[in-house]
Structure 1
């Protein structure tokens, strides 16, 4: 049977108990880690793309996306505290729904992390070219070197986003040679981002430029833009959802956490609530000062973010200073209201902090890839650990190359939508896994239980499906196409090489860590 291969939960938990990783992270550190993962390109860059889709309704979009993430976080909190091991949604699915569905989740997570890293690279490029090169050195990088050509209609004048390509390759190289950020460095970067956003909020909300009339009309494109349109407040929420991506990385740190049963839920929900409040206030400050009305097409529908026609409109003098036309939205807002120096400082904060987000995303992607390879679902050679660097250099190099190419040729909004498709599927499956575990293992210790799971679980499933159906059609189609490719890999290679299919449960604690094998009987028709 296709769904018979389920990894025993006892084996996974036994590995967690025998592991040698030091438990050193507390609730505050986890919350900071979550904030560090969440605050990145989403708020620093996608504010412009979100405003083009929803106008001032961007504030509502942040609330809608945040609400879906909070119910999903509750599901993550229960299962991460119950199964505090590496692998995140992939491992949870393996223990509840079996190998095949776990493969689809892991395959979607590979897409999510890689494409998200590309999107952050493009976001970093906007601040590098706008703040570092232009504002500080007076250098205007040609359009053909600072924008990718593969927007929805082809970006005007774009050929390759060279800075995005370079930063993606640089971070990949750092990961390959074993350079990782410590908790102390991460805390400093989180402080930089929080300080920058706090200053932005204070300056914009108290500015003489702030005018409540700029919020009218609040929903110029309506609440719903229609199936596959990707516009309206809900369409913007589907894109802005990317601004919250990263909180699930907190669950991957469960093995290094003191008292994970208490601290993981605090880290997950706490980081989400803090970021949601920041996002709403940032959106209010940006729209209330320079306005956030989208540039409309002749049919009364906003031009697609990243499209050729929007690029043409933004090149006109009438729209040159518009929020929706900026590649470095928050720094641009401050410059427009007379705080050029502080705007440049914010640009520098983004320039310094965003590479850490790329690093976390690439690290998370290679960790998922590594666990899948060691389960036999991908060639083990891909997860080979370098004898000197002690890192999975092959998979890191391959992933980094793909990330760099995507960053070089695709716009940030389109990348975010594609990444969101994989993320929403993973969250969807986690909600199902939590509900299944309540039935399959009702007596298991659950230090954290989702309150009202009968309501929260279905709400998470419905919310993820709702946002997915409001992505642009092109982004929606990427996930099924990627899944079909995954099916070909699974049935062509993974199913026959799976360790579980051969009767062995092998769980790896960490890269280069110890293995624990648990021989089991697997039905012949499940092999």
Structure 2
């Protein structure tokens, strides 16, 4: 049977039980932690792409994406508190739905984190070229060195996004040699991000340039642009869902939280609601001051974000200052309304903060790869640890090169859509896993129980599926193609080399680096 290999949950929890983490976090601390994890990449990078898809309806898009995230977060919290070990949704699936489906989830997570890191690299490139080079140094990189090629929708005249390539390789090198973020440095970067966006909201909403007429029409492409089009408020929600990724970090802190039944949902829902309101105010400030209407094609549908057609329109004088044409949207808005100095400071904030996001995404991707390799599903040479640096340098180097190449040749909006496809699939499977565990193991200790799971679980599944079907058709197509490649690898290599299939469960602790080796009883059938 293809679905028979389920990793024993007791074996997975054996490692987690060795931890003695102190429960010290309260609801407010969790909420602040979540806000710091969520705010960053998406709002700095994808505001222009979202406006091109939905116009002022971008504000509604943030509400739709935030609502899906809230129900997904509640599902994530229960299972993360139960299984607080390495591997994220991959490990959860392994313990509930078996190796085959766990493989598809892990394979999707590899895509998600790698492509997301590429998207952030491209976003960083926009702020680096626009703020650091153009505004401060008076250096203007030629288009062919600062944008991806036309293939698959790059910017006109582009050949390679050199800054994105360089930052991805630099962060990869730092990760390989073992350089980790300092908690204090990260806290400073979070403070810089939140302060910069708060200043943006205050300056734009109180500006003399703010004009309510800029919001008319509010939904130029409608609420629902149609499956596979990626436009309208729902299509924009499918893209800017990327702006919320990171909330799952809150759920991983469940075992360190005082009274998790009360404080975890407050932390999760509170941080998501705060960020949703924050994002809506940022969108309102940007659109209300310089406008955010999409550039329409001849058929009355917005040109695809990052497309050759949009690049041609943006090159025209009439659209040169449009929000939807900017690679550094928020800094651009402030410059347009007379706050160039503060706009440049906001650009510097993004320039400083985004590399840390790339590092976290690359770290997460390589650790998923690492755990799958240690399970025998990928060649074990990939999990080789460097004798000096003590990091999985082989898989980190491979991942970094792929991330850098994708960043060099693809536009940010397209990368975000592809990353979201993998994320939405993983979140959907987490909701399925939570509901399955409630049926198959109802007596298991749960530090946090998802409230009204009969409603929240199906809402997560339907919400993730709905957003997936509203991604651009090309982005939707990437996931099944990637999955098909993964299935070939699974049946050709992974299934025969799986440790579980060979009768051994190996658990790698993500904190202590300890292993638990548990043989499966030889009298029981394994395959």
TM-score range, shorter chain: over 0.9
Partner residue, 1:78: 78
Partner residue, 2:126: 126
Cα distance between partner residues in 2 of 1:384 and 1:369: 12
Alignment of 1:237-252 (within 5 A): 237-252=237-252
Deviations 1:320-378 (A, max 9, x none): 00000000000000011110000000000000000010001001111111111111111
Deviations 1:263-305 (A, max 9, x none): 6555433332222121111011111111100000111111110
Partner residue, 1:396: 396
Q: Does the 8 Å CA contact 1:292/1:322 hold for their aligned counterparts? A: yes
Higher alpha-carbon deviation: 22-31 or 193-202: 22-31
Partner residue, 2:284: 284
Q: Does the 8 Å CA contact 2:15/2:514 hold for their aligned counterparts? A: no
Q: Does the 8 Å CA contact 2:432/2:457 hold for their aligned counterparts? A: yes
Cα distance between partner residues in 2 of 1:522 and 1:331: 63
Relative to structure 1, the CA distance from residue 70 to residue 526 in structure 2 (aligned partners, 3 Å threshold; closer, same or farther) is same
SS in 1 for 2:319: coil
Higher alpha-carbon deviation: 6-15 or 168-177: 6-15
Q: Does the 8 Å CA contact 1:84/1:251 hold for their aligned counterparts? A: no
Cα distance between partner residues in 2 of 1:325 and 1:502: 55
Q: Which runs of 5+ in 2 are unaligned?
A: none
Deviation at 1:524, TM superposition (A): 7.2
Cα distance between partner residues in 1 of 2:133 and 2:310: 24
Cα distance between partner residues in 2 of 1:156 and 1:50: 20
SS in 2 for 1:36: helix
Partner residue, 1:415: 415
Q: Does the 8 Å CA contact 1:167/1:355 hold for their aligned counterparts? A: yes
Cα distance between partner residues in 2 of 1:430 and 1:523: 32
Q: Does the 8 Å CA contact 1:78/1:265 hold for their aligned counterparts? A: no
Partner residue, 1:169: 169
Deviations 1:230-263 (A, max 9, x none): 11111111111111112224445567x3559456
Partner residue, 2:274: 274
Relative to structure 1, the CA distance from residue 153 to residue 81 in structure 2 (aligned partners, 3 Å threshold; closer, same or farther) is closer
SS in 2 for 1:318: helix
How many pairs were matched up? 526
Relative to structure 1, the CA distance from residue 322 to residue 26 in structure 2 (aligned partners, 3 Å threshold; closer, same or farther) is same
Cα distance between partner residues in 1 of 2:416 and 2:150: 14
Relative to structure 1, the CA distance from residue 119 to residue 323 in structure 2 (aligned partners, 3 Å threshold; closer, same or farther) is same
Q: Does the 8 Å CA contact 1:151/1:411 hold for their aligned counterparts? A: no
Cα distance between partner residues in 2 of 1:149 and 1:38: 30
Partner residue, 1:364: 364
Q: Which runs of 5+ in 1 are unaligned?
A: none
Relative to structure 1, the CA distance from residue 416 to residue 100 in structure 2 (aligned partners, 3 Å threshold; closer, same or farther) is same
Partner residue, 1:195: 195
Partner residue, 1:340: 340
Cα distance between partner residues in 2 of 1:472 and 1:61: 15
Q: Does the 8 Å CA contact 2:31/2:270 hold for their aligned counterparts? A: yes
Relative to structure 1, the CA distance from residue 511 to residue 492 in structure 2 (aligned partners, 3 Å threshold; closer, same or farther) is farther
1:424 aligns with 2:424: yes
Cα distance between partner residues in 2 of 1:180 and 1:250: 20
SS in 2 for 1:18: coil
Higher alpha-carbon deviation: 476-485 or 441-450: 441-450
Alignment of 1:57-136 (within 5 A): 57-136=57-136
Partner residue, 1:380: 380
Partner residue, 2:510: 510
Q: Does the 8 Å CA contact 2:58/2:283 hold for their aligned counterparts? A: yes
